[in-house]
Amino acid sequence: MNIGIVGAGSVGKGLATGLVKAGHGVAMYARDEESVRQAASETGAAAAVTLEDAVASADVLVLAVPFGAVEEIAAAIRPLVAGKIVVDVTNAARPDWSGPLFSGSVSAASTIAGWLPEARIVKAFNTIFASNLVAGGTVDGQVLDALVAGDDADAKAVVSQLATDLGFRPIDAGQLTAAGLLESLAWLNISLNARGGNWQSGWKLVGLAA
């Protein structure tokens, strides 16, 4: 499968590393040409020259940029993503970084769905630290969970398979309205590690029926 990743930061590189290892074709794009070339070199991905190139060749597009950058990106790619799976890995923050920007049924993912109404939006990988993406989904011998939310069952199945390919156990968290819960869960883990953690902790739900 061809995966386009917008963003060349730690999360984008972590996803690219794992997806390339799993045998997927990955093209990365970032505004900073030097950073994306370096990221592509480190991960084995290709460096897309333009945002449009990254989108056009992708079966799945991953938005691995700060939430504040997404609206402009969405405006640029909206004509190109009709029917495409777009994975939102963002965790929108309050201005003081004290927690999630949204609450209730409103989330980063639901906002992005409004900006890209013809795309199939899936919330995934936002609860996973970049270090665990690189490590292959296992911490202290435990396979971590990848929580996946979205309104399109087929799109969720594709993203869940990507999570499996990355080494995680995918869990269907429900419709896109659950994205806010995933964003709050991510911020809880972030806040715990901000107190002096090692940024390697992750979520594992035990006792869940198959």
Is 49 in a helix, a strand, or coil?
coil
Residues in the chain: 210
Whether residue 78 has pLDDT greater than 70: yes
Q: What is the mean pLDDT of the chain?
A: 94
Q: What is the pLDDT of residues 182-202, one digit of tens each?
A: 999 999 999 899 888 899 999
pLDDT: which is higher, 71 or 106:
71
Q: How much is the pLDDT for 9?
A: 95
- What distance in Å separates the CA atoms of residue 86 and residue 198, rounded to the nearest whole number? 30
Tokens of 75: 């405006």
Whether residue 97 has pLDDT greater than 70: no
Say if pTM beats, i.e. exceeds, 0.85. Answer: yes
User: Average of pLDDT values for 169-192?
Assistant: 94
Residue among 115, 112, 59 at smallest CA distance from 83: 59
Q: How much is the pLDDT for 210?
A: 64
Is 190 in a helix, a strand, or coil?
helix
Is 168 in a helix, a strand, or coil?
coil
Is 179 in a helix, a strand, or coil?
helix
Q: What is the pLDDT of residues 108-157, one digit of tens each?
A: 999 999 999 999 999 999 999 999 999 899 999 999 999 999 999 999 99
Whether residue 101 has pLDDT greater than 70: no
- The domain defined by 2-194 folds into Rossmann fold (3.40.50)
Is 131 in a helix, a strand, or coil?
helix
Q: How much is the pLDDT for 173?
A: 97
Q: How much is the pLDDT for 102?
A: 72
Is 109 in a helix, a strand, or coil?
helix
Whether residue 80 has pLDDT greater than 90: yes
